[in-house]
Amino acid sequence: MLNFFAYGTLLLPEVMLAVTGRSFASRMAILGGFARYRIRGQSFPGIFPEPGASVTGLVYWEIDGLALDRLDAYEDAFYHRETVAISTAAGVGWAAETYVINEESHGLLLREDWCFENFRRQYSENII
């Protein structure tokens, strides 16, 4: 069992459920030292190391091996999974797995922040 940090499409619990087949307890968390940007031509973001930046997301607790395999299959060739240090606003920290954009894909990142609310609105419109 491990923790998983979501910062993009998996922030929606219904997307996490659709991908993994399970619901997990979650909590807001912060990933320091990374920035989140839009990926050209995509509805999802990517993160990569950037000193002084931070990304707000959700930590999902106690992800099992089957759910992790499904998450790996969901993410595409833009990313690799790595262990990062996350924390709450109060400064309590944990290790978590997350998906970081591959170095060869950095050129696809637009230097524009990805907007979760825009994604949520588009997602809702597409399932209605």
| pLDDT, position 128 | 40
Contact of 70 with 31, CB cutoff 8 Å? no
Contact of 14 with 120, CB cutoff 8 Å? no
Identify the H or E element spanning 17: helix 13-20
Locate the domains of the chain by residue range: 2-127
| pLDDT, position 123 | 64
Query: What Cα–Cα distance (Å) separates residue 76 from each residue in 15, 26, 101, 125?
Result: 15, 23, 10, 24
Contact of 120 with 61, CB cutoff 8 Å? no
Neighbours of 101 (CB within 10 A): 21
| pLDDT, position 112 | 83
pLDDT by 10s per residue, the chain, length 128: 899 999 999 999 999 999 999 999 999 999 999 999 988 888 889 999 999 999 999 999 999 999 999 999 999 888 999 999 999 888 889 999 999 999 888 888 888 888 888 887 776 666 54
Q: For residue 54, what are the contacts with CB-CB under 8 A and spacing of at least 6? A: 30, 31, 32, 33, 34
- The CATH homologous superfamily of the domain defined by 2-127: Gamma-glutamyl cyclotransferase-like (3.10.490.10)
Relative orientation angle of helices 13-20 and 65-74, to the nearest 10 degrees: 100
* Angstrom distance (rounded) from CA 85 to CA 126: 34
